[in-house]
Amino acid sequence: MTKLLTNRRAFLAGTAALAMPNIVRAQEARPIKIGLMAPLTGVVAAGGKEIVEGFQMYWEQNNMTVAGRKVEITVEDDASNPDTALQKARRLVEQGNVDFLFGNLLANTGLAVANYVKGTGTPYFIPVIAADDLTQRARIPNVIRVAGYSASQTSRPLADWAFKQGYRKIATVSQDYTFGHEQCGGFAQTFTELGGKITDQFWHPLNTADYSPYLGQLANAGVDAVFAMETGADASRFITQYASFGLKGRIPLLGCMNATDQSVIRTMSNEAEGIVTCAHFAEGSKEPVTVKFVAEYEKRYQKMPSIYGFSHYSGAMWVAEALAKIGAKVEDRDLFLKTVLATELVGSPLGKIVKLDSYGNPIYDLSIRKVEKRADGKLWNVPFETYPQVSQFWKYTPETYMKQPPYSRNFQGIKA
């Protein structure tokens, strides 16, 4: 009996030894599952569609694989609603068993998902969600802003550039919500610390139809320039009405990068020409990698890439490069997140080498850019000056910066 048991144990041990490589191979062959969330219905559905386009374009160009593992993407519509976004995130994580989450567009949807993954530990990558505190005071280690930016980050170099042009008095006009407050705060604080004056700040509701009350005041404000923080349909209406009101060519118009994004200006004409903004991407750049990407994107979708398309293409590239370094071992979350943070993105549409700070936000060479007409008459943003290696903390230390309150309508960091 003892001999029979010994032989049986030997047989089972041998069988297990033979089976183990096959089991390991089967485990390694499991597809990497990605949950992509985008607002495919609701007020920003057009941008949500471009999120999906840019993200899928990268993976399809790379045969839906990374380091030998297949990639499966499940797309969920967050409906531009935080409650729906939370519901869809739960479905993707708890039922879909995704390895990580990507996307969302509106800050309130991103914040809802970020608060959820804070408890689950699920990696969450946000190329568009720009709420400052997600990579500052309310940092969540598994939430990383690959190929994105913090809201106040890009408006600071623009304020510095404006002061160097001799502008000393500027008024701001903005949509009245957190993204607007933060963009205007970065501009206003930097401009006034240099010695400039913010004469007025006008706040208006989202989806404002008539800007004449604000434009009338701007016309008589005696300012050297106007900084406009507008996105989507509001940006289109503001720029059109600014020109119709007779202010174009009279008072220089500066804007946030979203104001002259392709999603806004591709349907516009002369009224948008000459607007100066600051961004981490300019579709009119002569950098070979950017020229190639814009041409490929335009051929594929018959339009130049918007912030939503290029950021999710670049974000996918960033995560894929990190996965390639670790043999696509996405199951090791700590290693995966650590590698993403340490990865420097090279050869992306963003141009030069891009790296993340220790808070999970990119450090960029930011471009001052101007809206110009391409040879075929289409509008695009052409860079003409660079601010190298701009941090979300600008020229402050993180510790000093985060001692001040977050930007809001009541706190704009303005120095008297």
Average pLDDT over residues 379-407: 97
323 touches 336 (CB < 8 A): yes
For residue 27, pLDDT beyond 90: no
What does the DSSP 8-state code read for residue 202?
E
Q: pLDDT: is 8 or 297 the higher one?
A: 297
Radius of gyration in angstroms for the set of CA atoms belonging to the chain, rounded to a whole number: 24
User: Between helices 307-325 and 288-301, what is the axis angle to 10°?
Assistant: 120
Average pLDDT over residues 23-51: 83
Matching fold, domains 33-151+309-353 and 155-280+365-401: yes
> For residue 44, what pLDDT is reported?
86
How confident is residue 99, by pLDDT bands cut at 50, 70 and 90?
A: very high
> For residue 10, what pLDDT is reported?
45
Q: Judging by beta carbons within 10 Å of its beta carbon (0-12, 13-18, 19+), is residue 329 exposed, middle or buried?
A: middle
For residue 52, pLDDT beyond 50: yes
∠157-163-164 over CA atoms, to 5°? 90
Among 15-19, 79-83, 404-408, whose mean pLDDT is lowest?
A: 15-19
Please state, in angstroms and rounded to a whole number, the distance separating the CA atoms of residues 283 and 353: 17
Average pLDDT over residues 89-111: 96
> For residue 353, what pLDDT is reported?
87
How confident is residue 416, by pLDDT bands cut at 50, 70 and 90?
A: confident
> For residue 22, what pLDDT is reported?
43
Fold annotation for 155-280+365-401: Rossmann fold (3.40.50)
Please state, in angstroms and rounded to a whole number, the distance separating the CA atoms of residues 392 and 70: 35
Q: What are phi and psi of 369, to 5 degrees?
A: -135, 160
How confident is residue 91, by pLDDT bands cut at 50, 70 and 90?
A: very high
For residue 9, pLDDT beyond 50: no
Among 5-9, 162-166, 316-320, whose mean pLDDT is lowest?
A: 5-9
Superfamily of domain 33-151+309-353: Response regulator (3.40.50.2300)
> For residue 28, what pLDDT is reported?
52
Distances (CA, A) of 180 to 175, 202, 309, 321: 6, 11, 22, 33
Average pLDDT over residues 282-286: 97
How confident is residue 15, by pLDDT bands cut at 50, 70 and 90?
A: very low
Question: Which of 4-18, 33-47, 287-301 has maximum average pLDDT?
Answer: 287-301
DSSP string, 341-400: HHPPB-SSTT-S-BEE-TTS-EEEEEEEEEEEE-TTS-EEEEEEEEEEEE-TTTTS-HHH
Can you read off the two tokens belonging to residue 210?
């008539």
Q: pLDDT: is 9 or 307 the higher one?
A: 307
> For residue 3, what pLDDT is reported?
42
> For residue 317, what pLDDT is reported?
98
Residues 6+ apart with CB under 8 A from 317: 58, 147, 345, 348
Average pLDDT over residues 258-267: 95
Please state, in angstroms and rounded to a whole number, the distance separating the CA atoms of residues 32 and 73: 8
Q: Spell out the domain ranges in the chain.
A: 1-30, 33-151+309-353, 155-280+365-401
Beta bridge partners of 37: 76, 103
For residue 2, pLDDT beyond 70: no
| SS3 of the chain: helix, strand, coil, percent, to 5 | 45, 20, 35
> For residue 43, what pLDDT is reported?
80
Average pLDDT over residues 71-100: 97
